Amino acid sequence: MADKEAFDIVEDLLKNKPGHYFIYNLMGEMYIKMYIKKEKYEKAIKVLKEGINLTPSLENLNNLGLCYYKKGMLPEAAECFHKAHSLRSCNNYSLFPLLSYGICLAQLGRGSEARGVAKELLVLSEKEEEELESSIAEIYYILGDYEEFVDIYSKLDWDFYSEEFLPTYFYSLSKLSKTKEIEELASRTIQRKGKEMREVIQDPDEEEDFKAEYEEVTREEIAFIRNAVREVYEGKAPIIDYKPEVETRCYLYGCFRHTNSNPNYFSI
């Protein structure tokens, strides 16, 4: 209900054709979140373009790129993501526009440029402690650079990564004929999950409903891992389902912390 009220307020403000890009940025974000399941992004594209015409920002350019990406317009998406990254500032240091740019380049077959972006991202993510390695590696996977992909993934701590990351790693290892590594990682992960499940089930302090749910989820995860190994051995390549991030920021006029301008702020 609150979201609907906020949407109506911002929509009413747009009817007056405001001269500041904040309102257009905010409306664009709302449209994206509304239509994300309907695959309809035309309204978001229109309002984001109006905001960009007033003031290009990391947020409106990135989110326009997201809309183009969802519509399969990769060249247009790549251009927007690239421009968005160039506008990183103290208000938003996000590396996701650059990541999305690299993914687009890889999907467009622009391998040399995509590899350059991946290398830049690895340096920046380490410097800024963003821990985007697993996402950056997807650029290499799309390009079929399995050695580079495996080099990154082999350094990940799999105790903290979801099993959903394993299929692409298994496949890349299989392309490099490293079946032993597949078996060892799959076995180690399944054993760890089984041990954790038994500990929860045997814990007298846990609720029975929680135990039952935990056991069901864990068995599904173990089945997922076994199925991933089987499909890799059958030669089935997992597909990267990349989802660009929606970028946002503080939209408070006159905010000192985020240096948002407000010409009338000091005349109150």
What are the b/e assignments for 95-117, b being 16+ CB within 10 Å? bbbbbbbbbbbbbeebbebbbeb
Q: Quick one: fold of 1-87+253-268?
A: 1.25.40
Among 25, 85, 79, 95, residue whose Cα is nearest residue 58: 85
pLDDT tens readout for residues 158-187? 888 899 999 999 999 999 999 999 999 999
266 confidence band (pLDDT: 50, 70, 90): very low
Residue 267 reports pLDDT greater than 50: no
Q: Is 20 exposed, middle or buried (0-12, 13-18, 19+ CB in 10 A)?
A: middle
CA–CA distance, 110 with 101 (Å, rounded to integer): 11
Residue 190 reports pLDDT greater than 50: yes
Delimit the domains of the chain by residue range.
1-87+253-268
Residue type, 36: I
Q: The tokens of 68 are what?
A: 């183009």
Query: How large is the angle between the packed helices 96-107 and 111-127, nearest 10 degrees?
Result: 160
CA–CA distance, 7 with 146 (Å, rounded to integer): 45
CA–CA distance, 179 with 172 (Å, rounded to integer): 10
Cβ partners under 8 Å of residue 62, min gap 6: 80, 81, 84, 94, 96, 97, 100, 244, 245, 246, 247
CA–CA distance, 226 with 234 (Å, rounded to integer): 13
- When pLDDT is averaged across residues 203-207 and rounded to a whole number, the result is 93
Tally helices (H) and strands (E) across the chain: 12, 0
- When pLDDT is averaged across residues 123-133 and rounded to a whole number, the result is 91
Share of the chain above pLDDT 90, in %: 71
Residue 221 reports pLDDT greater than 70: yes
